[in-house]
Amino acid sequence: MFDEVIARNPGEIEFHQAVREVLESLGPVVAKHPEYADSEVIRRLCEPERQIIFRVPWTDDRARVQLNRGFRVEFNSALGPYKGGLRFHPSVYLGIVKFLGFEQIFKNSLSGLPIGGAKGGSDFDPKGRSEAEVMRFCQSFMTELYRHLGEYTDVPAGDIGVGGREIGYMFGQYKRITNRYESGTFTGKGLSWGGSQVRTEATGYGTAFFVKEMLKASAESFDGKRVVVSGSGNVATYAIEKVHQFGARVVACSDSSGYVVDEAGIDLDLLKEIKIERRGRIDEYADRRASASFISDGSIWDVPCDVALPCATQNELDDENAIRLIKNGCRVVAEGANMPTTPRAIHTLRDAGVRFGPGKAVNAGGVATSALEMQQNASRDSWTFDYTEERLSEIMTSVHHRCLETADEYGAPNDYVVGANIAGFTRVADAMLALGVI
């Protein structure tokens, strides 16, 4: 089946990697449930239900016409409307969107909520673009995509390069074209126009909640631990915030230009001001803080730590990095980002007894809170911060529980990869069987 996926999707290496990682876990399930093989559920799961690719023309501030490509891969809707973020980054092409959409199916299923899997985005690079350029791009992007969206059809959110600002411009254009104030068509909205408390913080907070459970499972806690977090965007920032609240110290974080080490612990207010509010570069953090230094070559995974949280991008932690982490005494690696650890690095970490939490479980808090946002929109209600955070915490505890319980059931105790893949797969596969060959 994997050979068939490669043949049908040539050159899409990230998609191949994501499929392989899931297929490798499914042997015991198919042995126990031959009905999945008989009905070709796995083969059908590997083929998106719909793939949309479109032209996104827009004019820059000097009135020159610019051209980008837009994507939406609506991968699977057996459990609910398509749900998954939009990524704006120059590296985006069909293979990236498909890997993210494929992962999203299992993540959403694992969350226990009624949402299908999708992902989208564009090769547009927001870096260095003015507000007006970002707005015109978002409006052009939505002028095509709006026809495929809807609260019962497909509900996008943010991802790399897409935050509250971009969601606002896209929702504005959607509302203008459709003449409908359908809050439930987007998540990650601003609080004054239909957004949910905790959605901004959800992926990072959820990551910390999940790791807290991982530590608890081996009678440990965050208290006093040294933590390294890669990235300094949405996920990384709020993972750092919650990890600090749990009593650990984050000593390093990064962006695509390098990383900073701060033995006094990352000053989150300063980091937010530079990276979130001003969209600046991380070296400025070291310029403004005496205890910090900036390193532009080498790897953030060289910094010794007890817990490593890759929260930036795919394949950012390779085998060499894994070996270094193990040598330096790291005991837990949990993926805040999607597929940040290469397959070889995962094998190396697991062989060395490092507890490894895969992204589809660890970072499920973002989409879970998106589902809570949809729930609030449907009932025209809005919950308090504390109540929403409590719901998120409960969801992450139950995702953690589901992973370990399933891993046990299939003879792989403490293996979060096997647990997450199988638990995610069986829920969606059962729904597909019930819905017939469609």
Question: Catalytic site residues?
Answer: 119
**Binder among 234, 299, 376, 377 for ligand NDP (CB under 6 A):** 234
- When asked if residue 312 is in the footprint of ligand NDP (CB under 6 A), the reply is yes
Q: Residue 39 or 91: which CB sits closer to ligand NDP?
A: 91
Piece in contact with ligand NDP (CB under 6 A), picked from 29-37, 60-68, 309-317, 389-397: 309-317
- When asked if residue 111 is in the footprint of ligand NDP (CB under 6 A), the reply is no
- Least Å from the CB of residue 51 to ligand NDP: 19
**Binder among 77, 183, 197, 203 for ligand NDP (CB under 6 A):** 203
Number of residues that bind ligand NDP (CB under 6 A): 24
- When asked if residue 231 is in the footprint of ligand NDP (CB under 6 A), the reply is yes
- Least Å from the CB of residue 40 to ligand NDP: 29
Q: Which residues from 140-199 bind ligand NDP, rule CB under 6 A?
A: 158-161
Q: Residue 76 or 143: which CB sits closer to ligand NDP?
A: 76
Degrees (nearest 5) of the Cα angle 364, 368, 370? Answer: 125
- Least Å from the CB of residue 161 to ligand NDP: 5
Piece in contact with ligand NDP (CB under 6 A), picked from 1-9, 67-75, 291-299, 306-314: 306-314
- When asked if residue 256 is in the footprint of ligand NDP (CB under 6 A), the reply is yes
- When asked if residue 252 is in the footprint of ligand NDP (CB under 6 A), the reply is no
Binding site residues, ligand NDP, CB under 6 A: 158-161, 203, 231-236, 254-257, 311-313, 316, 336-338, 363, 366
